[in-house]
Structure 1
Amino acid sequence: MATTSGTLNGAVDVAAQEPTNGIETNGVEHIVDESIAVKPNAINDVPRLLEDIASNGEALARDGAQNRRQLLEAARSLVYALETPRESMIRFCWSQSTVFAAIESSIKLGLFKALSKDDKPKTAAQLAETTGAEPVFLSRILKHLGAMGVINETGPDTYKPTNLAKTLTIQKYADGFPCMNDCISAGIEKLPQWLEKNGYKAPSDGKNCAMQIGFNTDLHFFEFLATNPEYPVRFMNHMAAYHQGRPSWMDAGFYPVQERLVKGLDRDAPLLVDVGGSTGHDLAEFRRKHPEVQGQFILQDLPEVIEKAQTLISPDIKAMEHDFFKEQPVKGARAYFMHSILHDWPDNKCQEILTNLAQAMKPGYSKILINENVIPDTDADWQTTSLDIIMMSLFASQERTERQWHALAESAGLKIVNIFTAEKGVESLIECELA
């Protein structure tokens, strides 16, 4: 990666290229000592983090996986604290893009399937013969996958699968990697360019954000998905994998279904209307987890989605074509439910969606249930903040804080009466009523 231009023995002439390392404040330049680049980021935090890891490790052994996330966060924080700024910079710049390329190439090659046929170690030569890949090339890919913890290295050019490698043989999980390259990553990569051009303010138009630059299109994200039949399939598989294993508002102890939804139910009115509910997976989950709840269930989405949904849903769910930017045809339902709908749209469009629902609600009876992320004021989860940057880049939308949710609800004549949250980094259930 070095250049020999104008230098001795191939070394880069750093002094000639290096910019001033000062920070200017009120006309006074403060020099940043470059030695911090090779010192740990937060060495003083290490003893406390080691204590946290020891404590959480003992609890994990004693109580099972209940505190696994706390242990994982402490371990991750320890790595960040021990890492030097130079190491952090190189990790961000080099490892993430290269391991992504290695994983996607391995998925398409069938490498993980070949490696995961059994738990016996396999050499690069054996895997090259199975997959048809050029041996020297495959050895390089395998070394990087091993270095990044995607697979286990057991000897020279010899590897075994991890649980991650085995999971990547399942289409739902494997599709996340081509999905990102198909319709997501290029938009994120162009966010700095879009922000610089537009004065560093968040975009507010889904047809004028980084996505259009990244994919050289004037289409909205959802319109772009429709340009290739593989795109929506991979996107939906990626979303399904994202939701796998996460607490659901329908689980016991999350949202009091009997108390807040079933009690006082008017049997002549629909119980639950899933607005923009795709092929009905949420309603199917509700019926499975609460078979004792009787009522009318309605699934709403665009015609092409409903056509597919009708072949998948059970007879007790009514499929209905509906555009949520238009008047809501179902009046006075007990609850109108939306799962990860509003984060796709900027505030003005969300206001339209919510206003259409508010106008269909029965005062003192109907409610809106919004299943979305609520970003906390402190200690936000990296998954949620990552998704927020993705939504900014692709949709000119966002993941919202509690204050932003209240403001949005009030703009449509609603009030938030409860926010139910199971754990950090998991979508909450926001319960709204007419103001």
Structure 2
Amino acid sequence: MGSSNGTSNGTGQVFANGKNIDVEKIAVSANLPAQIPALLEQLNADGIGYTITDTEARLKLLETARSLVYALETPREAIIRHCWSESTSYAALETGVDVRLFQALGTDDTPKSVAKLAETTGVDPALLSRLMKHLAAMGAVVETGSDEYAPNGFSKTLTEERYSDAFPLMTSRFTQGIIALPAFFKKNNYRNPTSPTNTAFQMGYNTDMGFFGHIQQEPITAKQFNNHMGVYAQGRPRWMDPGFYPVQEQLIDGAAIGEKDVLLVDVGGSFGHDLSDFRRKWPNAPGKLVLQDLPEVVVSVKEAHSSIEVMAHDFFKEQPVKGARAYYMHSVLHDWPDDVCQKILANLVAAMEPGYSKLLVNENVVPSTGAYWETTSLDMIMMEIGSGERTEHQWHSLLESAGLKIAKIWSAQRGVESLIECELA
């Protein structure tokens, strides 16, 4: 177990910087023992402040509990968790989704036997018994007796397709690309991926087509992807919420916006979740809202608010709406490397009115320290398609290269996308 600054004597001991380190002892000891007393005190303090309705307090308690688990578990336990539990629980969960196990388990808190669940799902009772034991061990269901189980909040949520779609989506269009990342890095001499045409996704799925090409050609994948993105945004602060971005002061006040004027253009806005949410929260905001996406996407938009105009548009082409008060993009630019983003931005810059129009970019801004695990995980997922999340410095560099300047970056909560407010330079 040699390294650049240490050597092994073959007995589990490593000599590093003149010190004898017993790796075998470390492997079965708490990972960060010195942090445990302080984390226990913090857990108690956070627990006192916790209430069911206080989201911020709940998240704080959850983060402390997670840090305590990481400090308490041994390196051996961490290895087994990464290598065994996460992949196998995923396999059990996706199987459960496929056979409608969670619908069979129900939402009424009544325990059900494996025999009854096997009868409902058509799964071999011996197989289902093994799957259920692992799902219970991983906290996905509640074990109430021998081969008897009851639902919890997680399993109840999976009874609805918009939540359970995440599992087949990841397997069919993400997982193989993620697994291929180490081989892809090695093949490309460990260079940072920046090409949408040479990706781990293509290697993992043995295809010449990019991820978004598959989405455009596969209705099931498109549905699952949009469901998953809707769930991802659920329960998180939105930029138009009070205390996040001051909509009234920044967008409405001081701007003469009539009924026929466009207040906001959602570029690449999918099915219009963001605009619908904006209209619901700001019912009296003046002007029109315009939803833009590819023709095959917007054709499925149903029951849009009367103030929302649905428009087929490819953001790689000239922006047809000129001089809108604001152009908005949610998790669009993280899909593409800088050179491609510059082409997208050029079309928006050309449509913006100097001194009036704004560009609102709703994206992660990765902090220099203390990045949240959801953000770093998403960065790894985007890495497989040749793009990624960006730091504040990287956002400045990209946007300024396109003729824009950042007026302010508005943020609400750790791990939640910021709103980057831009103007023409």
TM class by smaller structure: over 0.9
Determine if contact 1:123/1:158 at 8 Å carries over to the other structure.
yes
Distance 2:177 2:53 in 1: 43
Equivalent positions of 1:5-404 (< 5 A) are 21-25=1-5, 30=15, 33-34=22-23, 35-61=25-51, 64-267=54-257, 269-309=261-301, 311-393=302-384, 395-404=385-394
Q: Deviations over 1:246-284 (max 9, x none)?
A: 110111111101100001223254211111111222111
Q: Deviations over 1:357-384 (max 9, x none)?
A: 1121111111100011111111111000
Distance 1:62 1:103 in 2: 27
Number of aligned residue pairs? 413
Give 1:56's aligned amino acid. Answer: D
* Cα 1:294–1:203 shift into 2, 3 Å: same
**TM-score calculated relative to the size of structure 1:** 0.92
Give 2:22's aligned amino acid. Answer: D
Secondary structure of residue in 1 paired with 2:193: coil
Determine if contact 2:346/2:402 at 8 Å carries over to the other structure.
yes
* Cα 1:286–1:76 shift into 2, 3 Å: same
**1:322: Cα distance to partner?**
1.8
Distance 1:127 1:26 in 2: 54
Structure 2 gap segments, 5+ residues each: 9-13
Q: Which shows bigger deviation, 261-270 or 139-148?
A: 261-270
Q: Deviations over 1:19-52 (max 9, x none)?
A: xx12123999946532211111101100000011
Secondary structure of residue in 2 paired with 1:242: helix
Secondary structure of residue in 1 paired with 2:255: coil
Determine if contact 1:301/1:320 at 8 Å carries over to the other structure.
yes
Q: Does 1:418 align with 2:408?
A: yes
Distance 1:97 1:195 in 2: 21
Distance 1:67 1:211 in 2: 38
Determine if contact 2:194/2:387 at 8 Å carries over to the other structure.
yes
* Cα 1:78–1:27 shift into 2, 3 Å: closer
Secondary structure of residue in 1 paired with 2:328: strand
Give 2:299's aligned amino acid. Answer: E
* Cα 1:434–1:47 shift into 2, 3 Å: same
Distance 2:369 2:188 in 1: 28
* Cα 1:236–1:83 shift into 2, 3 Å: same
Distance 1:337 1:346 in 2: 19
Q: Deviations over 1:211-266 (max 9, x none)?
A: 00111100010112234321111111111111111110111111101100001223
* Partner of residue 428, structure 1: 418
Determine if contact 1:279/1:313 at 8 Å carries over to the other structure.
no
* Partner of residue 11, structure 2: none
Distance 2:308 2:378 in 1: 31
**1:404: Cα distance to partner?**
0.7
Give 1:114's aligned amino acid. Answer: A
Give 1:271's aligned amino acid. Answer: L
* Cα 1:27–1:48 shift into 2, 3 Å: closer
Determine if contact 1:186/1:215 at 8 Å carries over to the other structure.
yes
* Cα 1:414–1:73 shift into 2, 3 Å: same
Q: Which shows bigger deviation, 49-58 or 260-269?
A: 260-269
Distance 1:69 1:202 in 2: 32
Give 1:329's aligned amino acid. Answer: P
**1:64: Cα distance to partner?**
4.0
Determine if contact 2:51/2:57 at 8 Å carries over to the other structure.
no
Give 2:322's aligned amino acid. Answer: K
Give 1:350's aligned amino acid. Answer: C
**TM-score calculated relative to the size of structure 2:** 0.94
Distance 1:360 1:134 in 2: 60
Distance 2:32 2:200 in 1: 34
Distance 1:337 1:422 in 2: 18
Between the aligned residues of both structures, percent identity stands at: 55
Determine if contact 1:338/1:371 at 8 Å carries over to the other structure.
yes
* Partner of residue 7, structure 1: none
* Cα 1:354–1:226 shift into 2, 3 Å: closer
| Deviation beyond 3 Å, 4+ runs, structure 1 | 25-32, 61-66
Give 2:204's aligned amino acid. Answer: G
Determine if contact 2:316/2:343 at 8 Å carries over to the other structure.
yes
Determine if contact 2:230/2:273 at 8 Å carries over to the other structure.
no
Determine if contact 1:249/1:429 at 8 Å carries over to the other structure.
yes
Secondary structure of residue in 2 paired with 1:120: coil
